[in-house]
Structure 1
Amino acid sequence: MTATYAIFGATSGIARAVIAELAKQGNALVLAGRNLPEVERIAADAHLRYGVPTYSLAFDARDLASHGAVFAAAVACTGHLDGLLVAFGTLTDQKQAEQNVAAAEAMIVSNYVGVVSLVTHAANYFERERHGVIGVISSVAGDRGRQSNYVYGSAKAGVTAFCQGLRQRLSKSGVRVVTIKPGIVDTPMTYGMNLPRLLLARPERVARDIVRALHRADGDIYTPFFWRFIMLGIRMLPEPIFKRLSL
């Protein structure tokens, strides 16, 4: 059975792969992002390749006042939504965020405040409908604050906690909330970083996990799955040992 999904942050590397997976299944797609010409190009490509209805909207995570109108426009494209995927966010250099409060603030707004704003509008819609799924891409970085990325990680930790509470609230209305925690993914967000190749996942692999979760999950998922065990180990490290490590 096909459905209609809205994807906010449609130009991200993970979102592009998710769009392809959902379109292959015949789902209608409402795509939103800050770079509207690129969003329109992605939408046109999905329509051409897979013959599914696609729609394009401009969306800026930092423009909080516009979120209600943009989400309403997403619903109006087809008259209803079955699901939402929140895929936007930024990864600013940690050292820059440590020295520049404006850089830290920008990262918190795009990764946490913007998510809370948009998802609040979506939650109220799906609660009224008593149907649907909200998928939010968080990160394993939010599982424990580490010196290498604690500004970004704190925003993602906030997203995870927000989704936990929202999941409890919306469970009474039959609405699922899925928190997606990718590990290290080979996308433009991580280009140029010195990362362990054995842990680097292809976006297509992550997208398949996300689409499966949108169809049936209700809770936190790690992708690839082994990050659940990696982060369990990191969380269990005693604080005196943890502080001596360079993570």
Structure 2
Amino acid sequence: MKKVLIIGATSAIAEATARLFAKRGDQLFLLARDQKKLSVIADDLKVRGAQNIHTGVYDATGQQSSEDIFDKAIKQLDGIDILLVAHGILPDQKACEISVGDTLKAFEVNATSVVAILTYFANVFEAQKKGSIAVISSVAGDRGRQSNYVYGAAKGAVSIFLQGLRHRLAKSGVQVLTIKPGFVDTPMTAAFDKGALWAQPEQIAKLIIKALDREKSVVYTPWFWGVIMLIIRFVPDWIFHKTRL
């Protein structure tokens, strides 16, 4: 039985992953902004087999003392084996190009708050010399593109931070997993037209669990996004700038 803390637990991917943790009887602490949604999810996870479930309210915009709720989570779990950070927003790129406030909010939620969480928990995991830190980043962070470079830059910052953290914690035996989903059919992407490259949250959840179990460092979900982004990263600027990506 693993002791798992999920931050951003009401997101579609996090909820689908929590169901898999519950199925194998893990102990869960769920953090998110909406207590009502948390309660509904917690009740569902109990039915699915979770041994113990705790919930707490956490707002990534920094309006509370996050260390207090993190301390509480660790104490109620009586330790921690897995941290999954899954919160985020998909900002309107055009709005961000006009508004400094919108751009900074996107960075606060998608990057700064994640860095704050990881700074706290890196010390916890380093001290115990075991466990797994998993964070949902995005393929959008692999190369800046006109269609979503604000979101991509924030996710890219997270991915680079995780690289450094992985290097730091390697000698402590702590897994640091960067999760890079492509297009996922969630409420956050409800307005987008869906196609063959789109995945369901349940697919992503299975790949997250597999990557954790296999102690992976980076996982593209689904796998073909690794190939797609490899190509996009190496397209020369003089060609890339003619595209509408």
**For residues 63 and 174 of structure 2, what CA distance do their matches in structure 1 show?**
24
**For residues 178 and 36 of structure 2, what CA distance do their matches in structure 1 show?**
29
Residue by residue over 1:126-157, the C-alpha shift from the partner in whole angstroms, topping out at 9 and shown as x without a partner, is 11111100000000000000000000000000
The alpha carbon displacement at 1:65 in A equals 5.4
Report matched runs for 1:78-97 at 5 Å.
78-97=77-96
**For residues 180 and 54 of structure 1, what CA distance do their matches in structure 2 show?**
24
1:245 aligns with 2:243: yes
**For residues 108 and 50 of structure 2, what CA distance do their matches in structure 1 show?**
36
For residue 80 of structure 2, give the secondary structure of its aligned residue in structure 1: coil
1:46–1:52 CA contact under 8 A, matched in 2:
no
Structure-1 residue corresponding to 2:141: 142
Residue by residue over 1:201-222, the C-alpha shift from the partner in whole angstroms, topping out at 9 and shown as x without a partner, is 0110000000111222231110
Q: How many residues align?
A: 245
**For residues 210 and 72 of structure 2, what CA distance do their matches in structure 1 show?**
26
> TM-score if structure 2 supplies the norm length?
0.97
1:168 aligns with 2:178: no
Distance 1:85 1:51, change over 3 A: closer
**For residues 54 and 220 of structure 1, what CA distance do their matches in structure 2 show?**
28
Report matched runs for 1:99-118 at 5 Å.
99-118=98-117
Identity %: 46
Report matched runs for 1:23-172 at 5 Å.
23-63=22-62, 66-172=65-171
For residue 198 of structure 1, give the secondary structure of its aligned residue in structure 2: coil
The alpha carbon displacement at 1:70 in A equals 1.5
1:225 aligns with 2:223: yes
Unmatched 5+ stretches in structure 2: none
Structure-2 residue corresponding to 1:205: 203
Amino acid at match of 2:213: H
Structure-1 residue corresponding to 2:183: 184
Amino acid at match of 2:83: L
> TM-score if structure 1 supplies the norm length?
0.97
The alpha carbon displacement at 1:87 in A equals 0.2
Unmatched 5+ stretches in structure 1: none
The alpha carbon displacement at 1:52 in A equals 2.2
Q: After TM superposition, which residue ranges in structure 1, 4 or more long, deviate above 6 angstroms? A: none
**For residues 100 and 124 of structure 2, what CA distance do their matches in structure 1 show?**
35
Kindly report the root-mean-square deviation, in angstroms, between the aligned alpha carbons of the 2 structures: 1.1
**For residues 65 and 116 of structure 1, what CA distance do their matches in structure 2 show?**
16
Amino acid at match of 1:179: T
Residue by residue over 1:144-195, the C-alpha shift from the partner in whole angstroms, topping out at 9 and shown as x without a partner, is 0000000000000000000000000011111110000000000011101134
Residue by residue over 1:13-52, the C-alpha shift from the partner in whole angstroms, topping out at 9 and shown as x without a partner, is 1011001111111111110001122112211210123242
**For residues 19 and 5 of structure 1, what CA distance do their matches in structure 2 show?**
9
For residue 133 of structure 2, give the secondary structure of its aligned residue in structure 1: strand
For residue 91 of structure 2, give the secondary structure of its aligned residue in structure 1: coil
Amino acid at match of 1:233: I
- Deviation larger for 214-223 or 164-173: 214-223
**For residues 73 and 211 of structure 2, what CA distance do their matches in structure 1 show?**
22
**For residues 49 and 127 of structure 1, what CA distance do their matches in structure 2 show?**
32
- Deviation larger for 210-219 or 179-188: 210-219
Structure-1 residue corresponding to 2:9: 10
For residue 146 of structure 2, give the secondary structure of its aligned residue in structure 1: coil
